[in-house]
Structure 1
Amino acid sequence: MSMMITKEKVENQTWRDLPLELLISVMAYLEIKDNVRASAVCKSWHEAAVSVRIIDQPPWLMHFSKSKNSYEIYNPSNGKKHTMELPKSLAGSKVRYSRDGWLLMSKNISSDFVLFNPFTMDLVVLPYLELWYGYQLVGFSCAPTSSDCVVFTIKDYDPGHVTIRTWSPGQTVWTSMQVESQFLDVKRNYVVFLNGVFYCLNIRNCLAVFDPSLRTWNVLDVLPPRCPDHIDDESWYEGKFMVGYEGDIFVICTFGNAEPLVFKLDLTQGVWEKRENLGSLSIFVSINSCESRTYVHEGMLRNSIYFAKLCDNETRCVTYSFDERRYHPSEHNINWGKQRSSENIWIEPPENALEIA
């Protein structure tokens, strides 16, 4: 008798009876209008819908003109563009990194590092630093308006050694240290600040960590992501991006028109796990900055990768949707050689983004 009651109970279960964790997973994929409708079904659906109803601004795309002293800002959520003048002192500068709405910039022929906010026009000139042939890896932890800001640079001066330099607000000189390491490559090094440390990835997909508080540098015992058999070594090194989200590190690998590969770092096992999709994440990639968002925002694709390139003659970005398993547009024509020399970069918009947009 009890078995019959249990069977009847199971057969009568509806979507309303789903465990909260499963409801939240489902709600995370809904657009804002569908999320609002779902929240009106019942108390448990309302709780699940509201818990993931995060309405956030996507990062904006910046393009620096090579012929003019200006830059263009593009909002991917509404396709609007804004052109702004670059300060004369920054003419000829290149973007090295972006975070919290600020840009780390320098000139190839000078030793000047500058933190620049393109929305407020605020400038922070960093102490003198000899560039030599340009630093192979640079980044910073947060906006220089915070005392926690750390600007991080690393370069190899002789085989087997790298020199790490850091700067924080209030310092008049760079703090320097040298460590034994064969880590850096001639090009294509990546850096992400997450969990209070700088994660660094090189062309061979080796991972290292610099802790600015302890001033320690460690090359981690993590096996690189495995190259697929159908991908040649040269292609494996192209079109790679690293991004952080809520304590996790992801590596995105792209190969022309082929489906991108996604790997998530599992530090406890010391491996990169291949992921079939991004779930509720949207990831925005460019050579000098990557951003990640999980939000319910009408008009934006979730479980997708946004590239720092606009479609020809259209005000929308080239994207790859894991839900549809295809690029938009299908013939996106991203040339990674040209992409690397371009000045397209994602940047976090200011809090008054709606006023600007």
Structure 2
Amino acid sequence: MEIAKEKAENQETWRDLPSELLISVMTNLEIEDNVRASAVCKPWHEAAVFVRVTDQPPWLMHFPNSTNSYDFYNPSNSERHTKELPQSLAGSRVRYSKDGWLLMCKSFSTDFVLFNPFTTYLVALPDLDLGHGYQLVGFSSAPTSSDCVVLTIKDYDPGHVTIRTWSPGETAWTSMQVSSQFLDAERNYVVFSNGLFYCLNLRNCVAVFDPSLRKWNVLDVPPPVRPDGIDDESWCEGKFVVGYKGDVFLVCTFGDAVPLVFRLDLTGRVWEKKEDIGSLTMFVSINSCESRTYVHEGMLRNSIYFPKVCDSENRCVTYSFGEGRYHPREHNFNWGKQQSSENIWIEPPENALELI
């Protein structure tokens, strides 16, 4: 009898783990591993499905030139919605987007406004006195958060970078100037990740600004290797910087060619080339990039969604690493020439449909 009991105990397997422990394990799995684990047995399937939370994708925003309005496009169901733009923002352009808010200002103006296009709430920022404008701009979180920091950077003065920040409740910008060589920052390659602002210039040099310590540092990281056959102009165009849980990715596009993806390896001080992005789905545009792990059912994982809707098929241009091709196959879109404020990915609130 004792021998039979000991034999039964020795035959216990992973399938016999307590449900609480199974759920704890499944919580730490990426979506692909979660799906594989769900096929092992019934208890594993129940635990895997229990923690498989679906993330809603960001929506794509478009500002038609002919009307004082803006359009939303939901890539998960191809639904479109239109909302009127406040008169005070007529003629304004989007400079950055994060957490469902837009940082906007009019052309050649430094009067910034934070705008929520769902609630139409406005937060006017103090006047920013910049003799020659700015080159990089972004913000860390929604202005409803005490952690919100708005950042502007200019480096017109050789050998110096001027950094200005603003947070909710402040009546003026805080300015600092540091000795640094970070020229050629003509496009707004900024991403906030893991408490830091990462900035990229045309030469693919990376600088980091820590708003809590007010510290600026140009990293000693060689730029990613340019592929053979790509000229200087193409290599400088069509780039997107994406953040995900502390990681920073660089997406490079060249017409109809396969996109290149690099992950910033801070330990090895190198841009690591990725053959795919695993369970991630990236949504990229010039002034806003989003990333998701558990995307809505029916959407492509291990893929990049670009800021263009194909009216003939009513879906976004997408590149699937799993299939090794674009959808549609011929997108005929020059990423580098895209107007900065025409198409912006934005995170909708849970009650977005009620607000529009």
TM-score category, normalised to shorter length: 0.7 to 0.9
Q: Deviations over 1:216-245 (max 9, x none)?
A: 100011111111123222211111111110
Q: Deviations over 1:261-308 (max 9, x none)?
A: 110111011011111001000000000010000105212110000001
Between the two proteins, the alignment pairs up a number of residues equal to 338
In the TM superposition, 1:115-194 aligns within 5 A as 115-185=114-184, 187-194=186-193
State how far apart, in whole Å, the 2-side matches of 1:338 and 1:268 are. 34
Q: Deviations over 1:163-222 (max 9, x none)?
A: 100000110000000011221315224111111110111111111100111111000111
State how far apart, in whole Å, the 1-side matches of 2:73 and 2:340 are. 19
Q: Deviations over 1:49-105 (max 9, x none)?
A: 444x12111000000111211000110000000010000100011000000000000
For residue 157 of structure 1, give the secondary structure of its aligned residue in structure 2. coil
State how far apart, in whole Å, the 2-side matches of 1:338 and 1:293 are. 26
Q: CA deviation at 1:29?
A: 3.1
State how far apart, in whole Å, the 2-side matches of 1:197 and 1:337 are. 26
Match of 1:29 among 23, 32, 46: 32
Q: Give 1:236's aligned amino acid.
A: W
State how far apart, in whole Å, the 2-side matches of 1:354 and 1:108 are. 31
State how far apart, in whole Å, the 2-side matches of 1:331 and 1:275 are. 24
Q: CA deviation at 1:338?
A: 3.4
Q: Contact (CA 8 Å) 1:277, 1:322: kept in 2 or not?
A: yes
Q: Which residue of 2 aligns with 1:210?
A: 209
For residue 29 of structure 1, give the secondary structure of its aligned residue in structure 2. helix
Q: Which residue of 2 aligns with 1:46?
A: 46
Residue 269 to residue 179, structure 1, CA distance change in 2 (3 Å): same
1:237 aligned to 2:236? yes
Q: Contact (CA 8 Å) 1:252, 1:263: kept in 2 or not?
A: yes
Q: Give 1:184's aligned amino acid.
A: L
Residue 207 to residue 91, structure 1, CA distance change in 2 (3 Å): same
Q: Which residue of 1 aligns with 2:99?
A: 100
Q: CA deviation at 1:23?
A: 8.3
State how far apart, in whole Å, the 2-side matches of 1:298 and 1:274 are. 28
State how far apart, in whole Å, the 1-side matches of 2:26 and 2:86 are. 50
State how far apart, in whole Å, the 2-side matches of 1:37 and 1:178 are. 53
Q: Which residue of 1 aligns with 2:8?
A: none
State how far apart, in whole Å, the 2-side matches of 1:15 and 1:314 are. 46
Q: CA deviation at 1:22?
A: 11
For residue 340 of structure 1, give the secondary structure of its aligned residue in structure 2. coil
List gaps (5 residues or longer) in structure 1. 1-13
Residue 24 to residue 327, structure 1, CA distance change in 2 (3 Å): farther
Q: CA deviation at 1:109?
A: 3.5
Q: Which residue of 1 aligns with 2:343?
A: 344
Residue 345 to residue 132, structure 1, CA distance change in 2 (3 Å): farther
Q: Contact (CA 8 Å) 1:72, 1:84: kept in 2 or not?
A: yes
Residue 198 to residue 16, structure 1, CA distance change in 2 (3 Å): same
C-alpha RMSD over aligned residues: 2.6
List gaps (5 residues or longer) in structure 2. 1-12, 17-21
State how far apart, in whole Å, the 1-side matches of 2:88 and 2:118 are. 16
Provide the TM-score with structure 2 as the length reference.
0.88
For residue 307 of structure 1, give the secondary structure of its aligned residue in structure 2. strand
Residue 274 to residue 15, structure 1, CA distance change in 2 (3 Å): farther
State how far apart, in whole Å, the 2-side matches of 1:301 and 1:179 are. 43
State how far apart, in whole Å, the 2-side matches of 1:329 and 1:129 are. 43
Q: Which residue of 2 aligns with 1:10?
A: none
Moved more, 287-296 or 180-189: 180-189
For residue 32 of structure 2, give the secondary structure of its aligned residue in structure 1. coil
Which stretches of structure 1, 4 residues or more, deviate above 6 A after TM superposition? Answer: 14-17, 20-27
